Amino acid sequence: METRHAGLQNKRTLITGGAGFIGSNLANHLAADNDVVAIDDEYLGTPENLNETVDYRAHSVLEDDLPTDVDIVFHLAALSSYAMHEEDPTKGARVNVEGFVNVVEQARRDGCETVVYASTSSIYGSQTEPSPEGMPVAVDTGYEASKLARERYGEYFANHYDMSVAGMRFFSVYQGYNGAEEHKGEYANVIAQFADDLASGEAPVLYGDGTQTRDFTHVSDIVRGLELAADHELTDVYNLGTGDAYSFNELVGMLNDELGTDIEPEYVENPIPEDVYVHDTCADSSKMREATGWEPKTDLEDGIERVCEPY
């Protein structure tokens, strides 16, 4: 469907968190046709993820004088998990909220009018039915609070300064250790972790009984969604997910089939408190489809094939 635009071309672009998993995939993709600057404080990212065509610079999003003289900012830098925030809620708020405001304000002063940033699907809580953007959301963790605060500040910049500011609520993004996920280790998507376990002859460890479900979305679809959001100068929040949910038990079965292994998972008590653990996710991405023509192109079967291919 995506016929209206060929994608971004000849744009000066800043990607924060640009050496991280999603950021590096986006930077490498855009650098073919655009002038891309990627910044990262290397807490979660590594410049080894980036092609030579990307102008990489080590910066924190909390710094002054960032390279924000650009046409488009993709703000992906964040402490991106529940655990990271609970270790230090103040640091989580500084990086995820103050860092967002700092980057966007510097970009605004430099004349940038288009910002696309990472929010999260976690604010929907556990949902077995597809979640639309307009449904009520609640905050149970510092991570979710920081991302919802981003959305409110995004609304402020859009309304007060007439900027195009789009928040993208990602659903369970994966690529596999052959891509840019390996450096994330325990914070990588479970698909990457489970595939590596099985290929190494080890039992993947599942929390609870393995019936929890996720809307697994391949990073290539996320990258196209981010590019389209900028290209269409969207404002508001949008879901990026497939609309199909699979349980962890189903996932292990599919990975065993693809790898030719037959290893049963190990079930352990969930270390994350039940009242904050998101058991099920599923996206309603119709708003994004209607705005840009975006469709996920990689279903889970194809994605698992890509993840397992190097093994």
Residue 249 inside a domain? The answer is: no
Q: Does any domain span residue 253?
A: no
HEC string of 246-303? EEHHHHHHHHHHHHCCCCCCEEECCCCCCCCCCCECCECCHHHHHHHCCCCCCCHHHH
Q: Does position 3 have pLDDT exceeding 50, yes or no? A: no
Phi first, then psi, for residue 102 (nearest 5°) are -60, -45
Residue 280 lies in a domain: no
Say which range, 21-35, 50-64, 72-86, has the weakest mean pLDDT. Answer: 72-86
DSSP string, 217-249: EEHHHHHHHHHHHHHTT--EEEEE--S--EEHH
Domain annotation covers residue 146? yes
In a domain, 207, yes or no: no
pTM: 0.95
Predicted confidence (pLDDT) per residue in 165-218, tens digit: 999 999 999 999 988 888 888 888 999 999 999 999 999 999 999 999 999 999
Percentage of residues in the chain with pLDDT exceeding 90?
88
pLDDT in tens, 257-307: 999 999 999 999 999 888 888 999 999 999 999 999 999 999 999 999 999
* CATH number, position 153: 3.40.50.720
Task: Give the domain extent around 158.
Answer: 12-176+217-241+285-297
When divided into structural domains, the chain yields a total of: 1
Question: What residue has token string 């489970």?
Answer: 194
Residue 185 lies in a domain: no
Q: pLDDT tens digit string along 216-250?
A: 999 999 999 999 999 999 999 999 999 999 999 99
